[in-house]
Amino acid sequence: MERRCQTLAVLLGVFASAGAGSASPREAPALPLPSVEVREANGLYTVRGRFTVAATLQQTWEVLTDYGDLSRFVSSMRRSEILGLRDRGILVAQTMVARAFIFERPFHVVLDVHEVPWRTIAFRDVLHSDFTLYEGDWDLAKAPGGVAVTYRLQTRPRSRPPLFKGVGTFRATVTSLLTEVRSEILRRSRRARGGAQPKGGTR
């Protein structure tokens, strides 16, 4: 349990700034944006994103399971707290902020997270407050030059307008999330090698 507390999960939160379609200030300009595909059908969004990062599996895993420190490197995350264990999984409460133009709204989830160490992090919302469906996973695999990270999500928000205006908004949101996560992995990888910090430092 202590290891998990010390070790984003990314998680898990998909709602980065909806207007952010470009790389984070901490992202090296030469790096391509993560690839992101989004499909929508009757209010159900299916998301798949992917990037490769020059880091080890351990460094990548530690960022993706850093449940208690998400708000430091995921700009949309306001709260991420481990509540305890459940059926061999971890319960993580999160509050995220979605933004679109002048609108801003918090979203709440309680994620039931199941880990397969060094390979997969699966999650699903059990609160059902702002989403009728919110589930997905992060998948890690060795790749030339580092680690390939794949992010998948299916979600059906209860409220659509004005914060959910289609595939373009979701694509920009997920791109921002993946870019921030990749930047944090690179930062930790470079620190471990004793190299220079990524441009812009940390927040």
Full set of structural domains in the chain with CATH: 2-192 (3.30.530.20)
**Which residue, chain included where needed, has tokens 């997920």?**
174
What pLDDT was estimated at residue 160? Answer: 60
Q: What was the pLDDT predicted at 78?
A: 87
**Residue range 167-185, pLDDT digits in tens:** 887 788 889 899 999 999 9
Encoded tokens for 102? 């002048």
- Please tell me whether the overall predicted TM-score, pTM, comes out greater than 0.75 for this model: yes
- % of the chain beyond a pLDDT of 70: 75
Summarize the confidence of residues 98-126 as an average pLDDT.
88
Single out the residue of 104, 82, 78 nearest to residue 91, CA to CA: 82
Q: Which residues of 84-104 are buried (b: 16+ CB within 10 A; e: fewer)?
A: eeeeebbbbebbbbbbbeeee
Q: Band the pLDDT of 110: cuts 50, 70, 90.
A: very high
Q: Which of 32-41, 70-79, 119-128, 148-157 has the lowest mean pLDDT?
A: 70-79
Element at 80 (helix H, strand E): strand 77-86
Question: Is residue 203's pLDDT more than 80?
Answer: no
